[in-house]
Structure 1
Amino acid sequence: MRGKKWTVLVLLSAMFLWSMAGCRTSESRSDIPETVPAEESPETDGGGEEKPFAGVTLTLLNFSSATPGGVLTATCEVAEEKFGFRIEIEPCYDDNVVRTRLAIGDCPDLLVYNTGSLLYSLAPSEFFLDLTDTKMAEKLDSDFIRAASVDGVLYGIPQCDSMSAGVFYNKELYEAYGLEVPETWEEFRKNLEVLQHAGVDGMGISLSELVSSQLPFLADNYQVIYENPDFAQEFTHGETGFADSHEGLRTWERYEELVPFLNEDCATASNQEIEDRFFDNRVGHLIQFSSRIPEWMNTYGDEINKIGFFALPGDTKEATGLTIWPSNGIYGNKKSKNQEAILTFMEWYVSEEGQDVMASFYSPAGVFHTGYQPKEKSIELVQEVQKYYTEGNVMLALEYLTPIKGINCAQICNKLGNGRISALEAAEAYDEECRKMALQIGLWE
């Protein structure tokens, strides 16, 4: 019933949204080497025999930037060569487009999309294959199964490795100013003050960009859950909120305490500009996803070695840990005429062979939900991230523990970061956004 309510709501605005938003028609394949030898037809196995899915075309809508550009394309090209089908990849950068496509019955054969609360809001039982009792499900860890399931039904496989969000710091600046890696929030603030007094931006951020503006709040989810292990359950049932709980309000207060140390052009600077300054020793810290590491390796080369990592500190050493996000999911269309090809692709993708192929095109910074171990040794920065996993000092982000997430979180963070609202006002605004979402998905009456 909940799913039907949602579908009706989306259908009411479907045509309008469809006219306003759009995806690119195809993903460029020119930057990836051709994987099919020129002398062989893509419809044969090289020995003259027709491949099992020759002539089949699968459509894939990619609403994800979890891996560097071209990685998904290159991996799919290897699958095409192996099985004979063609995979048409369509990049998408607008969540409204995904929802509209589903609402008007234009579901692709394969969808790469979020897990957690955003998956819940799609009413996945209406659109995606049930993978609960498949061999694929047996390969996956509990974190991903929880994140990619709704009402006990598993709908997706992991697109890549998991990611985390924490503080990246410039080691050269730390050495120059005699700073040590902080273990508490107070120690972190003192480091920011030292850099700021020296004329270096303590914290770099792009408030105009959807993801980076939210990360000081999202990366602090560990601290919220540590202070109240029942917060997610109580929040889901409407028994607590961010504004009316100590742990909830404190997370917004910590964001507010960062504001004096943000770059002056935080409202207008792009994420690329901030990252360039960071690697140029003009910014001391970034709060970012670990999935940026492979991109930085490609962009900045050996300069990556002067970057270090630590979890966003809590008010105490014990409350300091890493907030993690399971991988985005790959979902199969339950109404597609190509279900056999879809399932074959998905089974291969999470196999040892498929994971080897994918990992050959980038350097993973997280942990794979299949237990897969990359063959190449990780760089020191990645090891600094992964030690939190090894030590068990990680917690899932709140959006994987509750189906409720405020849609306008980025706008609220933007206002707080620009000093236009206080921490309490931000907490109250976010609670209101979450109340609207809970009502919309039929969770609260």
Structure 2
Amino acid sequence: MHSTHRPLLPRAAAGAAAAVLAAGLAACSTGGDDDGTLNILIDNSEATGSLMQALVDAYTEAHPDVEIELEIRPGGTEGDNIVKTRLQTGDMPDLFFYNSGSLLQALNPSQMLTDLSGETYLDSVTDTFKDGVTSGDAVHGVPVGQAIGGGVLYNLAAYEELGLEVPTTWDEFMANNQAILDAGTAAPVIQTYGTESAWTSQLFVLADNYNVLAAEPDWADAYTANEAHFADTPAALAGFEHLQEVAEAGYLNEDFASLTYNEGLAALVAGEGVHYPILTNALTEIEAVDPEGVDQLGFFGLPGDAPAEAGVTTWLPGALYLPQTNEDPGPAQDFLAFVASTEGCDAQTAGVSVIGPYFIDGCTVPSDVPPAVAQLQAYFDAGLTAPALEFLSPVKGPALEQITVEVGSGIRSAADAAALYDEDVKKQAQQLGLEGW
């Protein structure tokens, strides 16, 4: 999913953004400048802006002769198209930040991106992350950020006031939603389909992958081989059905069609809504505008039907990539080496709240993390995690967010949505030249 796409910049990155909008957008470098300037294209999200600004500040403090400009692009599908177009036209800056997993595969990385597998700094990057940025035998990216959980952020105060417990089954989750609705003080489930926020509608489907794999361990391989599909696999169809269920039960906020992602996060912190199915990197975005807000939230994986093995679907963070069009890659390689070091992790830890484990050897997570991060870490400690489908399969249809918006809005049934998405997926698989499609 578009896990790094957000509509606003954090306060910490506002100055950098202004400089970029004034200068970086006017001239898009395709190689290191003679004056020691390094240009990096990033999405306009709170999380990405905060993390990159922390890295830039630490690096330039140690390298005062280097100036780094962060160029900002839109998020969502528009941002995806910009990245693809600029790679294809040779108009990409020195480095760019983008998703790992299936969205990376859609960029034709073997033709567009530099193979970093021979670089010694990659020795410190974990194999789990490398697998998410690999094409053939080539490794293309260096992680920025930490492991991300996909599930439900919830308002701790609301749970305490209503005497609710963290659900470990879908039925328990729905019972909690009914209790919240009966109390009449908040929306049980926040959905945000407003401007540039449609991607958030996918969580009920994508964050359910842990439960799908628990029921169908070979799901990802069968799906990739066109032997199993969302519409004909009950465990996979369940995500669409759950979204339909919460909508039909009247559990959504009344303004779900227009509310934006940032507004949804603010509503969650304020207790105007109690549950928000979302990625845990949202905590970085909350911290940027409300540092105390992260302490008011908890987190649990999207519930399935096996309470004893209730777990969480996890996402790899995005990565920095080096385009092949960079004619002077030395400065970019040096910055990548810094990002892949414990010093790079320390810079990120000092700049923003840590939201999960790092994928760099030797990097540690502070003991005083927010409650939601501690709950996410507990899933990792217990071994109750599974990757999102996009890290197990290159097949990811581009229309999922529009389809899930229709389900959440009552326009399309879960069964119709799953069948439509299977058709959407087929087009992507054929474009990738996968066997069996």
Into which bin does the TM-score normalised by the smaller protein fall? 0.7 to 0.9
Q: Are residue 385 (structure 1) and residue 376 (structure 2) matched?
A: yes
Find the counterpart in structure 2 of residue 104 from structure 1. 89
Counterpart amino acid of 1:109? D
Counterpart Cα distance in 2 of 1:105 and 1:252: 39
Q: Which residue in 2 is equivalent to 1:309?
A: 299
Q: How does 1:164-243 map to 2 (within 5 A)?
A: 164-199=149-184, 200-208=186-194, 209-243=197-231
Q: Does 1:397 find its partner at 2:383?
A: no
Distance 2:134 2:329 in 1: 20
CA separation of 1:69 and 1:210: change in aligned 2, threshold 3 A: same
Query: Can you list the C-alpha shifts for 1:193-221, whole angstroms capped at 9, x where unaligned?
Result: 11112223110111231331111211111
Residues 1:397 and 1:64: Cα distance change in structure 2 (over 3 Å): farther
Report the Cα distance in structure 2 between the residues aligned to 1:176 and 1:78, rounded to whole angstroms: 43
Residue 257 (1) aligns with residue 245 (2): yes
* Alpha-carbon distance change, 60 to 298 in structure 1, aligned in 2, over 3 angstroms: closer
Conserved 8 A contact 1:168-1:285 = yes
In the alignment, the residues of structure 1 paired with residue 237 and residue 50 of structure 2 have an alpha-carbon distance, to the nearest angstrom, of 40
* 5+ residue gaps, structure 2: 1-8, 20-32
CA deviation after TM superposition for structure 1 residue 320, in Å? 2.5
CA-based RMSD of the aligned residues comes to 2.3
CA distance in 1: counterparts of 2:128 and 2:279, whole angstroms: 18
In the alignment, which of 71, 76, 81 is matched to residue 90 of structure 1? 71
Q: Rg larger in 1 or in 2? A: 1
2:68 and 2:352 map into 1 onto residues whose CA distance is 20
1:7 maps to what in 2? Answer: none
Query: Which aligned segments of 4 or more residues in structure 1 are displaced greater than 4 angstroms?
Result: none
Residue in structure 2 matched with residue 424 of structure 1 by the alignment: 415
Alignment of 1:216-365 (within 5 A): 216-259=204-247, 260=249, 261-318=251-308, 320-365=310-355
Number of matched residues? 402
Deviations 1:100-133 (A, max 9, x none): 1111121221011111111111111112221113
Q: Name the TM-score, length of structure 1 as normaliser.
A: 0.85
Distance 1:63 1:304 in 2: 22
> Structure 1 residues 271-280 or 383-392, which shifts more?
271-280
AA aligned opposite 1:90: E
Q: CA deviation at 1:31?
A: 6.8
Q: Which residue of 2 aligns with 1:134?
A: 119
Alignment deviations for residues 217-274 of structure 1 (CA, whole Å, 9 cap, x no partner): 1111111111111111111111110001121222221222121211122111222333
> Residues 424 and 375 from structure 1, CA distance in 2 versus in 1: closer, same or farther, beyond 3 angstroms?
closer
Q: What is the match of residue 45 of structure 1?
A: none
1:293 maps to amino acid: L
Query: 1: distance between equivalents of 2:36 and 2:336?
Result: 15
- Kindly state the Cα deviation for residue 293 of structure 1 after the two structures are TM-superposed: 1.2
The 8 Å contact of residues 220 and 392 in structure 2, kept in 1 or not, is answered as yes
> How far off its partner does 1:375 sit?
4.9
SS at 1:243 equivalent: coil
Deviation of the 1:424 alpha carbon: 0.3
Q: Tell me, what secondary structure is at the counterpart of 2:306?
A: coil
Indicate the larger mover: 335-344 or 364-373. 335-344
In structure 1, give the amino acid aligned to 2:423.
Answer: E
Partner of 1:187, secondary structure, is: helix
How far the C-alpha of 1:400 sits from its partner, in A, is 0.6
**Residue 370 of structure 1 is aligned with which of 354, 360, 365?**
360
CA contact (8 A) 2:42 2:48 kept: no
CA deviations over 1:399-422 (Å, ceiling 9, x no partner): 011000010111001000001111
Task: Write the distance in 2 (CA, Å) between the matches of 1:331 and 1:68.
Answer: 14
Contact 2:407 2:417 in 1 (8 A): yes
**Cα separation, 1, equivalents of 2:373 and 2:59:** 28
The answer to whether the 8 Å contact 2:13/2:49 transfers is no
Aligned partner of residue 307 in structure 2, secondary structure: coil
Match of 1:41 in 2: none
Shift of 1:171: 2.1
Cα shift at 1:294:
2.6
Task: Give the whole-Å Cα distance in 1 for the aligned partners of 2:37 and 2:98.
Answer: 20
Match of 1:415 in 2: 406
1:259-294 CA distances to partner (integer Å, 9 max, x unpaired)?
121112211122233333322222121111111113
Q: In 1, are the aligned partners of 2:149 and 2:314 still within 8 Å (CA)?
A: yes
Q: AA paired with 2:281? A: S
1:174 is paired with a residue whose SS is helix
Structure 1 Cα separation of the partners of residues 359 and 336 of structure 2: 14
Identity of aligned pairs, percent? Answer: 31
Contact 1:29 1:70 in 2 (8 A): no
Alpha-carbon distance in structure 2 between the residues aligned to 1:115 and 1:204? 27
Contact 1:167 1:311 in 2 (8 A): yes
Q: Any conservation in 1 of the 2:304–2:310 contact (CA below 8 Å)?
A: yes
